[in-house]
């Protein structure tokens, strides 16, 4: 491929991603990074993955992205902001993480990147590409940083200097070669430790990873069985996810609400009152959250989370 052709194709893909509504984009050269596997292995070895044993699979592939797409040359990374500031209905209502207040992002981003992938195929017929969004053995944060989208914050999430950290990530791994973006984004956290101090359960580690066993997001979404007694009273009014570390981050002071219509939920989670949650049946849950990330947890675990809060604070029940 000539340099002129590469420049034109790179521009077209960036423009296509922008047309799909993505707020930040970047392209990195696909190559093995065995340190990714090493870091995850050490994290798992310390037991910080909790009961998420699935993360132990395909560790070798996590360190070599070219095993996911044979002959891969590029990793296209796109970020879509999801910040929202709606006030939950009713006084002292339950809290649901902002990422779950929108339509299931896996579906939205998959559809957007599928359309971009078709453009790549049209421009380069023999191209082989694969779309990822929070699935498969791909180290999303590491590749977002390599593509120049930002740096790894103390709370472990990628922070972009323009839009903060409230954004979803999606990737296209492809055999097509593009111009690659500058990855010199420096660490701008400095000496700030607001996120560490704000974590109700002390889940943020010094090496900028999260100890899932103490993370409210993990406990309310992934953890099976009863919630550990040591956290009673510490989960506040949270029943799904947690945004505490992001809420206090200075880089999110400039975060603005999302505008992508494809993210708009059929039923706004924040419109549900405390009574709605308490009276919800399994059938109601299935219908209300059929296109929401909340369906991942399931009715029984949401009830467990609610009961855990109410038992901690009986006067709120």
**pTM value?**
0.94
Nearest Cα neighbor of 95 from 105, 82, 84, 81 is 84
Q: How confident is the model at residue 86 (pLDDT cuts 50, 70, 90)?
A: confident
Dist CA 35 CA 33 (whole Å): 5
Q: Residue 136 above 90 pLDDT?
A: no
**Cα angle, residue 266 at apex, residues 260 and 267 outer, rounded to 5°:** 120
Query: What mean pLDDT is reported for the chain?
Result: 94
Asked if 94 and 306 count as a contact pair (C-beta separation under 8 A), the reply is: yes
Query: In the numeric block, which tokens belong to residue 243?
Result: 């945004």
Dist CA 76 CA 159 (whole Å): 18
Q: Residue 54 above 90 pLDDT?
A: no
List of residues 6+ apart from 233 with CB closer than 8 A: 312, 313
List of residues 6+ apart from 104 with CB closer than 8 A: 291, 292, 293, 295
Query: In the numeric block, which tokens belong to residue 199?
Result: 């974590």
Cα distance from N-terminal residue to C-terminal residue, the chain: 65
Q: How confident is the model at residue 79 (pLDDT cuts 50, 70, 90)?
A: very high
Q: How many CB atoms lie within 10 A of CB 198?
A: 15
Instruction: For the chain, give every domain's residue range.
Output: 3-84+104-174, 194-316
Q: How confident is the model at residue 317 (pLDDT cuts 50, 70, 90)?
A: very low
pLDDT tens, 107-134? 999 999 999 999 999 999 999 999 999 9
As a whole number, mean pLDDT of residues 77-81 equals 98
Residue 204's beta-bridge partner residues? 210
Nearest Cα neighbor of 277 from 232, 312, 311, 307 is 307
Dist CA 91 CA 239 (whole Å): 16
Asked if 124 and 166 count as a contact pair (C-beta separation under 8 A), the reply is: no
Dist CA 210 CA 199 (whole Å): 11
Residue 53: its pLDDT value, please?
87
Residue 171 vs residues 26, 34, 121, 136: alpha-carbon distances, Å: 10, 19, 16, 11
Asked if 94 and 123 count as a contact pair (C-beta separation under 8 A), the reply is: no
Query: In the numeric block, which tokens belong to residue 1?
Result: 């491929």
Query: Which one of the listed residues 64, 134, 260, 307 is annotated catalytic?
Result: 134
Residue 313: its pLDDT value, please?
57
Residue 314: its pLDDT value, please?
47
Residue 56: its pLDDT value, please?
87
pLDDT tens, 184-207? 668 999 999 999 999 999 999 999
pLDDT tens, 204-246? 999 999 999 999 999 999 998 999 999 999 999 999 999 999 9
Q: Which helix (DSSP H) or strand (DSSP E) does residue 277 occupy?
A: helix 274-279
Residue 312: its pLDDT value, please?
61
pLDDT tens, 147-180? 999 999 999 999 999 999 999 999 999 999 999 9
Q: Is 3 a catalytic residue?
A: no
As a whole number, mean pLDDT of residues 249-274 equals 95
């Amino acid at each position: 491929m000539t340099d002129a052709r590469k420049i034109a194709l790179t521009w077209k893909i960036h423009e296509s991603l922008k047309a799909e509504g993505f707020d930040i984009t970047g392209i990195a050269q696909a190559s093995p990074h065995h340190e990714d596997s090493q870091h995850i292995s050490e994290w798992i070895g310390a037991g910080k993955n909790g009961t998420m044993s699935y993360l132990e699979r395909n560790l070798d592939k996590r360190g070599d992205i070219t095993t996911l797409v044979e002959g891969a040359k590029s990793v296209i990374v796109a970020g879509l902001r999801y910040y929202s500031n709606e006030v939950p209905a009713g006084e002292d209502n339950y809290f649901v993480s902002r990422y779950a207040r929108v339509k299931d992002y896996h579906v939205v981003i998959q559809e957007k990147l599928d359309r971009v992938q078709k453009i790549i195929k049209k421009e380069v017929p023999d191209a082989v590409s694969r779309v990822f969004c929070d699935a498969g053995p791909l180290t999303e944060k590491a590749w977002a940083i390599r593509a120049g989208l930002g740096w790894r914050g103390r709370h472990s999430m990628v922070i972009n200097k323009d839009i903060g950290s409230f954004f979803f990530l999606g990737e296209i791994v492809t055999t097509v070669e593009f111009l690659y973006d500058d990855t010199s984004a420096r660490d701008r956290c400095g000496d700030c430790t607001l996120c560490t101090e704000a974590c109700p359960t002390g889940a943020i580690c010094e090496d900028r990873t999260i100890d899932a066993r103490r993370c409210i997001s993990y406990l309310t979404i992934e953890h099976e069985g009863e919630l550990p007694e040591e956290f009673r009273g510490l989960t506040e009014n949270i029943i799904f996810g947690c945004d505490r570390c992001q809420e206090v981050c200075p880089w999110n002071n400039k975060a603005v609400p999302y505008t992508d219509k494809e993210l708009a939920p059929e039923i706004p989670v924040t419109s549900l009152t405390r009574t709605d949650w308490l009276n919800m049946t399994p059938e109601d849950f299935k219908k209300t959250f059929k296109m929401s990330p909340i369906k991942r947890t399931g009715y029984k675990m949401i009830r467990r989370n609610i009961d855990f809060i109410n038992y901690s604070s009986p006067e709120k029940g």
